[in-house]
A and B are shown apart, each in its own frame.
Chain A
Amino acid sequence: MSATKTITFTLNGEQVTAEIAPHHNLIEMLQNQFDLFGARESCGQGICGSCTVSVNGRAVSGCLYLAAFADGAEVVTVEHLDADGKLDPVQGAFIEAGGFQCGFCTPGFVLMSKQLLDEQSDPDDDQIRHYLSGNLCRCGAYPEIMEAVKIAAKKRNKRESGI
């Protein structure tokens, strides 16, 4: 038995505590203690991006990120994007463009795309590719994902300009 530690952090806008072991990663904690399955462990090596979680506003690979590091942090998962009852523009754009087949990788792509658009409101193709190069999609929905990010950029820019 390894010693456990209590951590406190903000999860999808709520203050929570979790009992974790030093070796637990973020995904194990989110799935086992909070029933959040949107971030999925796939490669377990930080290669595929399907376990992407936002910590203090930065996307991290939940499979490599130790749960202990979440202590005091602000953690956001894909489940939080429609917290106001509406899909995030990025989620809506993925549906509109058909940016997936099986959907396993989609939460990771959605979170990365959102972070990209937070930093760069009107990215070109190369910027999109560069930003999403750490996310793998075995169904090969990349062309539709590129399209989705562009649609999402348009949606967000329209929203911001209030049109």
Chain B
Amino acid sequence: MLDGLADRMNWSAPFDRGRGTVRRGRGIAIGIKASVSPTTSVAIVYLFADGSCNLYCGTVDMGQGAVTVMAQIAGEVLNIPAERVKVVHPDTDVTPYDMATLGSRSTYHMGHAVRLAAEDARIKVQALAREVGLPEGSQVPLAELFQKKYKMQAGNIVGVGHYIPSYVPPDASGLTPQATPFWMIGGAGAEVEVDVETGHVVVTRLVNVADVGRPLNPRIVATQLSGAAIMQLGITLFEKMHHDNGQVTNASLADYKIPGIFDIPPIENETVEAIQHSGPFGAKGAGETGTFSVSPAIANAIHDAVGVRITELPLNPEAVFRALRAKQNQPLEDE
């Protein structure tokens, strides 16, 4: 991954350091994170008499594309197109248990549960085929199997799957051989321009390189990585939450600046394909991976540009200017 980053950043090539009041710098960073563990996911695949398929799963799709990927997994096992799998949205009256949609856990944990539920359903379909006297491997459509058994469009098959990862709690010294079912690994590289008169930082290039296992839907994963990096870019540069005795005092979105379209640098995303052998179809979580390294990469680039090491976010003009003045032994007064 570091190699991928260095290549993309042309790390060994000469670098323009800027001139006058605008100094240029570049930095890279790499981060790893565990997925929350141990957690459980349960899924139900329901095959109807007409051959249609519902998938009941509690993963909340908030834009990350979980519904698409879960349908892909069920479709892959059942050998039907993903678009024919109707994913039933989370509803505690209807959908089975899932720990939560967080911690980049859904593709891995719910993905396994969906895979197992679909495999369970597939075994039952094969049993039904035997029951109605069809030879092994016959590709008779499901609706016809039901018709043969019930003499009408009736019946159903329910496949259930649950997944609990192996996990070993930490011992007295805090060590465990199995802390998490998978690790997320994300790297970022940034090039910045720092205005030494104002402390204003402009990110002129942002590179994300991520190990996401085998991306089940590469297009969705690329958008996730890019979006995650942009959200982290906002936290890195702009988003300052003000508190007064625990009460947030930013009055509105006007006082809590999230990135707008003018704030987006040219972004490149690259996935290092490294199959996660314990994951469903080689996949693992990718939700947070794009966030890990953006802040340290930009902070490193600022350090490279103007020699100040800032360890608190956001790296807004005030923070950078204060650091520059402190470095010149002319610190500004506190607020």
Residues of A within 8 A of B (CB): 42-45, 47-48, 98, 100-103, 128-129, 132-133, 135-146
Interface of A is mostly: loop
Beta-carbon contact of B63 and A100 below 8 Å = yes
Beta-carbon contact of A140 and B260 below 8 Å = no
Do A47 and B223 form a contact, CB below 8 Å, given A133-B261, A142-B261, A145-B261?
A: no
Query: B101: shortest Cβ distance to chain A, in Å?
Result: 13
Beta-carbon contact of A142 and B264 below 8 Å = yes
Beta-carbon contact of B252 and A43 below 8 Å = yes
Beta-carbon contact of A101 and B254 below 8 Å = no
Q: Does B259 contact A (CB under 8 A)?
A: yes
Query: B81: shortest Cβ distance to chain A, in Å?
Result: 18
Beta-carbon contact of B252 and A45 below 8 Å = yes
Q: Does B230 contact A (CB under 8 A)?
A: yes
| Contact code string B258-269 (vs A, CB < 8 Å = 1, else 0) | 111110100100
Beta-carbon contact of B223 and A129 below 8 Å = no
Beta-carbon contact of B231 and A136 below 8 Å = no
Contact of A143 among B220, B224, B253, B264 (CB under 8 A): B264
Name the CB-closest residue of A to B65.
Answer: A101
Do A136 and B226 form a contact, CB below 8 Å, given A45-B253, A101-B64?
A: no
Q: Collect the chain B residues with CB atoms within 8 Å of residue A133's CB.
A: 260-262
Q: Does B317 contact A (CB under 8 A)?
A: no
Name the CB-closest residue of A to B268.
Answer: A143
Q: Collect the chain A residues with CB atoms within 8 Å of residue B63's CB.
A: 100-103, 139
Alpha-carbon distance A124/B65, docked complex (angstroms): 30
Interface of B is mostly: helix
**Known contacts A45-B252, A136-B260, A140-B229; 7 further A-B pairs (Cβ under 8 A):** A43-B253, A47-B254, A129-B262, A139-B231, A140-B233, A140-B264, A143-B267
Alpha-carbon distance A43/B227, docked complex (angstroms): 20
Name the CB-closest residue of A to B223.
Answer: A98
Query: B206: shortest Cβ distance to chain A, in Å?
Result: 10
Name the CB-closest residue of B to A126.
Answer: B262
Beta-carbon contact of A136 and B219 below 8 Å = no
Q: Does B172 contact A (CB under 8 A)?
A: no
Query: A149: shortest Cβ distance to chain B, in Å?
Result: 10
- Count of inter-chain pairs, beta carbons less than 8 A: 67
Residues of B within 8 A of A (CB): 62-65, 219-220, 223-224, 226-231, 233-234, 252-254, 258-262, 264, 267
Beta-carbon contact of A144 and B230 below 8 Å = no
- 17 A-B pairs, CB-CB below 8 angstroms? A42-B253, A43-B252, A45-B252, A98-B220, A101-B62, A101-B227, A102-B62, A133-B261, A136-B253, A139-B227, A140-B228, A140-B229, A140-B231, A140-B234, A140-B259, A141-B223, A143-B267
Alpha-carbon distance A6/B196, docked complex (angstroms): 59
Q: Collect the chain A residues with CB atoms within 8 Å of residue B62's CB.
A: 101-102
Alpha-carbon distance A45/B252, docked complex (angstroms): 9
Query: B295: shortest Cβ distance to chain A, in Å?
Result: 15
Q: Collect the chain A residues with CB atoms within 8 Å of residue B259's CB.
A: 140, 142
Name the CB-closest residue of A to B62.
Answer: A102
Beta-carbon contact of B226 and A135 below 8 Å = no
Alpha-carbon distance A139/B258, docked complex (angstroms): 10
Name the CB-closest residue of A to B233.
Answer: A140
Taking each of B63, B219, B228, which has the highest tally of chain A beta carbons within 10 Å of its own beta carbon?
B63
Alpha-carbon distance A139/B65, docked complex (angstroms): 12
Q: Collect the chain B residues with CB atoms within 8 Å of residue A137's CB.
A: 261
Taking each of A44, A138, A145, which has the highest tally of chain B beta carbons within 10 Å of its own beta carbon?
A138
Alpha-carbon distance A102/B231, docked complex (angstroms): 14
Query: A33: shortest Cβ distance to chain B, in Å?
Result: 27
Alpha-carbon distance A138/B219, docked complex (angstroms): 19
Do A101 and B262 form a contact, CB below 8 Å, given A140-B230, A142-B230?
A: no
Q: Collect the chain B residues with CB atoms within 8 Å of residue A135's CB.
A: 261
Query: B70: shortest Cβ distance to chain A, in Å?
Result: 16
Query: A116: shortest Cβ distance to chain B, in Å?
Result: 12
Beta-carbon contact of B226 and A143 below 8 Å = yes
Query: B51: shortest Cβ distance to chain A, in Å?
Result: 28
Query: B106: shortest Cβ distance to chain A, in Å?
Result: 14
Beta-carbon contact of A98 and B230 below 8 Å = no
Name the CB-closest residue of A to B265.
Answer: A143
Query: A42: shortest Cβ distance to chain B, in Å?
Result: 8
Q: Collect the chain B residues with CB atoms within 8 Å of residue A140's CB.
A: 226-231, 233-234, 259, 264
Q: Collect the chain B residues with CB atoms within 8 Å of residue A43's CB.
A: 252-254
Query: A130: shortest Cβ distance to chain B, in Å?
Result: 8
Closest 6 CB pairs of A and B: A140-B230, A102-B63, A101-B63, A140-B227, A43-B253, A142-B264
